[in-house]
Structure 1
Amino acid sequence: MSTHHAGHVAVIGRPNVGKSTLVNALVGAKVSIVSNRPQTTRHRLLGIATFERGQLLLVDTPGIHREQGKSSASAMHRWMNRAARGALEGVDAAVLVVEAGRWDEEDALAYDALREAKVPVVLAVNQVDRFKDKAALLPFLAEVTEGREFAAVHPVSALKRQGLDALVDTLLPLLPEQPPLYGEDEITDKSQRFLAGELVREQLMRQLGAELPYATTVEIESFTEEPARHGVLLRIGAVIWVEREGQKGIVIGKGGARLREIGSRARESMERLFGAKVFLETFVRVRAGWSDDEAALRTLGYHD
């Protein structure tokens, strides 16, 4: 009889290397939001990937980035680094995700954090689909593995779902032999309420300019479920918080057009994820300096 393995795997790397895309691909559902902006992920999030021979409890984390000193790093950035490093506590293994062809000081910082955790580390070299000639990657792989200990190295494309089976085959034996820790139909430890807020924030990251999304956060003010003709209807009220009055107008857009687009796309994502009809109301409010205020962060759901 084949053995069953289950355990926690931290997914670590610098910002914007595809950690959340990899977690979603392994889980087979969208549990972590994705955009092309660095530091989209702000919270630790568990993605549950269940296979016949085992269960990976994937801890998706904010990207580890270098702080330039307490004075210049905002409370939000310090919190995200704490969340990323805290995710290493109690895990059985880790995946270090790097971008194919690129290794910089933040990748080294992430590797050093994993060495301190003393768990087996698998290197996932992501976005290899960008290389037509895979042999061109060999010098890069030799460079990043020299003098560093990895349990295995896997070239993957999380977006194209390439190389994932081999990655799973490597990870499962690194975990304890035990039965599944979650039900087969469970995909995350987060509530629908939390996921709803993240899906609104994903649209802010995708639709606004390069800087403004970092001055925004989302709070779900109301979340109720009621019977509907075909299943249930979820009524959700979401508050988008910004730091200055001028930012409020940018989020709302001319005649409310941008806010309607953000709400519409977020609602569609919620309906796909929750399998239910959603009535979503969005509001934009100002809370000055929330991203550099530890107390404000706690009230908005950013707590260890």
Structure 2
Amino acid sequence: MNDETTHRSGYCAIVGRPNAGKSTFLNQIMGIKLAISTHKPQTTRDRILGILNRPNGQICFVDTPGLHSAKGGINKYMVRQAEAAIQDADVILWMAEIQPKSDNPLSKGMERIHQLIEATGKPWVLALNKVDRMQDKTKLLPQIARWQEAFDPPCVVPISAQDNDYTEVLLEEIVARMPAGPPLFPDEFLTDRSERYLTTETIREKAILETRDELPYAVAVTVDDFDETRREDPEDPMVSIIATVHVEREGQKRIVVGERGKVIKRIAMRSRRDLRRLLGCRVYLDLFVRVTTDWSSKDARLKDLGYDV
């Protein structure tokens, strides 16, 4: 499609419905966990930048919250993040979950995403994710044909983000649609997110995973102290972190704390394990749980918790 000797670079927004596998894809291709992912839709709340360097180009991926109907508060914030990423991108990657039955009608939500993408006039690629879940692979071609008939995408690539299958083909298609130009960031630059931000997201992920379906999406995390005084200690490098898990109701606080503090202890233990890998040293983590009433629907409280509404 393009001269392979031409270096290309630009921003690629990863968009799609909640739980389509956008964050899993970003983490897989980056080889490092930048975006948290759970079994629950709408886990991602912010735009996450991941910079991938390839021999023929630099792709600045922007992982986005899932596009969905938003009535206000945190949900409206999430949708605005995704829509802004679409407008700022050079190339758009539409990540969609493959449907179990090829005769299922495509949803109105899919039509809205297509309209958003087409309205930009920007090059885009459709990735049909989770092909690893298709037991009958003979249904794959009818799936592709259905999407082609509905949306006429310039390119369709079936992938498994979880297993890293066919992602190389997808990356080549994205690079080919990037504008020609030098790298936008130095080779060693992986993301624009701070370690402090990644710490809050790590803890939030563990809180979601440990409470499973018992806790609604009314959980946020703030880092109250991030002490690196001993990080360069040659004998025992350590970072000390104090953080707060915010919920909206006393009942939710009881769920997060758990009987005799068992749940919050598990959240802290799992968080420490991931944070050790992220920060490259021993981590002291002290977690607190606080009721911040209706934080997810009040703009002032959203701002206090770090959401730029």
Q: Residue 204 of structure 1 contacts residue 213 of structure 1 at CA under 8 Å; is this kept in 2?
A: no
Equivalent in the alignment of 2:98: 100
Q: Residue 5 of structure 1 contacts residue 177 of structure 1 at CA under 8 Å; is this kept in 2?
A: yes
- The amino acid of 2:172's aligned partner reads D
Query: Aligned to 2:126, which of 123, 126, 141?
Result: 123
Instruction: Compute the displacement of 1:99 (Å).
Output: 0.8
Please say if 1:261 is aligned against 2:266. yes
Question: For 1:289 and 1:202, how far apart are their aligned partners in 2?
Answer: 20
CA 35–192 in structure 1, closer or farther in 2 if over 3 Å, else same: same
Please say if 1:40 is aligned against 2:43. yes
Please say if 1:298 is aligned against 2:303. yes
CA offsets per residue over residues 155-176 of structure 1, 9 Å max, x none? 0000000001101111102112
Q: Residue 27 of structure 1 contacts residue 50 of structure 1 at CA under 8 Å; is this kept in 2?
A: no
Equivalent in the alignment of 2:175: 172
CA offsets per residue over residues 124-179 of structure 1, 9 Å max, x none? 00000112443311112111111423221100000000001101111102112122
TM-score by length of 1: 0.94
Instruction: Compute the displacement of 1:288 (Å).
Output: 0.6
Q: Which runs of 4+ in 1 moved over 4 A?
A: none
TM-score by length of 2: 0.92
Instruction: Compute the displacement of 1:184 (Å).
Output: 2.0
Question: For 1:232 and 1:118, how far apart are their aligned partners in 2?
Answer: 50
Equivalent in the alignment of 1:150: 153
Q: Residue 226 of structure 1 contacts residue 232 of structure 1 at CA under 8 Å; is this kept in 2?
A: no
Equivalent in the alignment of 1:70: none
SS of 2:143's equivalent in the other structure is helix
Instruction: Compute the displacement of 1:108 (Å).
Output: 2.2
Question: For 2:215 and 2:45, how far apart are their aligned partners in 1?
Answer: 15
CA offsets per residue over residues 186-220 of structure 1, 9 Å max, x none? 22110000000000000111111325241110011
SS of 1:210's equivalent in the other structure is helix
Q: Residue 98 of structure 2 contacts residue 129 of structure 2 at CA under 8 Å; is this kept in 1?
A: yes
Question: For 1:252 and 1:33, how far apart are their aligned partners in 2?
Answer: 21
Please say if 1:89 is aligned against 2:92. no
Question: For 1:213 and 1:181, how far apart are their aligned partners in 2?
Answer: 39
After TM superposition, the structure 1 = structure 2 runs for residues 230-245 of structure 1, keeping only pairs within 5 Å, are 230=235, 232-245=237-250
Question: For 1:29 and 1:192, how far apart are their aligned partners in 2?
Answer: 13
SS of 1:78's equivalent in the other structure is helix
SS of 1:202's equivalent in the other structure is helix
Structure 1: unaligned runs, 5 residues or longer = 68-72
Structure 2: unaligned runs, 5 residues or longer = 101-105
Bigger mean CA deviation after superposition, 256-265 or 244-253: 244-253
- The amino acid of 1:74's aligned partner reads G
